[in-house]
Amino acid sequence: MREHTVLRVVTKLLIAPIILFALYVQFHGDYSPGGGFQAGVVFAAAIILYALIFGLAEARRAVSPNLLRITGALGALIFAGTGVYAMLRGGNFLDYDYLAHDAIHGQHYGLLLVEFGVGLTVVSVITSIFYVFAGRGRRNDDEQPPGDAR
């Protein structure tokens, strides 16, 4: 892709607005359920676009698979932790009313936390799946194929 200068420049211009839109969807989602999944998909699309234009190795340097494992686990932990915290406060799993001093604030905090956890998990899993499928059949530069005497 090095010879496609226009694609590289346009991609550099588009990545920031795509991520900004993902953040908008994420934080607008706290007023109603559903923002986390869509935000995670849009954010992952930005990473995938970067990988398609600049190469998989460059994308893995920017967003490492280890970081994706950590954020995926952290997102699931935030989601489950929100539910467990509500149970410890006397409610049911993910009963947001028990997350704050009144039900209105509890609903707001609960949706914000759960959708953030979902978004973090979704971006991590989708990007990880892309990395695995995009890297299939490729060798590292330092690996030699059998019988190759460089």
* DSSP one-letter code for 139: -
Three-class secondary structure of residue 117 per DSSP: helix
Q: Is the pTM higher than 0.95?
A: no
Residue the block writes with tokens 């704050």: 100
Per-residue pLDDT in tens (0 to 9) along the chain, 150 residues? 567 899 999 999 999 999 999 999 998 865 666 689 999 999 999 999 999 999 999 999 999 999 999 999 999 999 999 999 999 999 899 888 888 888 888 888 888 899 999 999 999 999 999 999 998 876 654 444 455 454
pLDDT at 34: 65
13, 15, 21, 23: CA torsion to nearest 10: -130
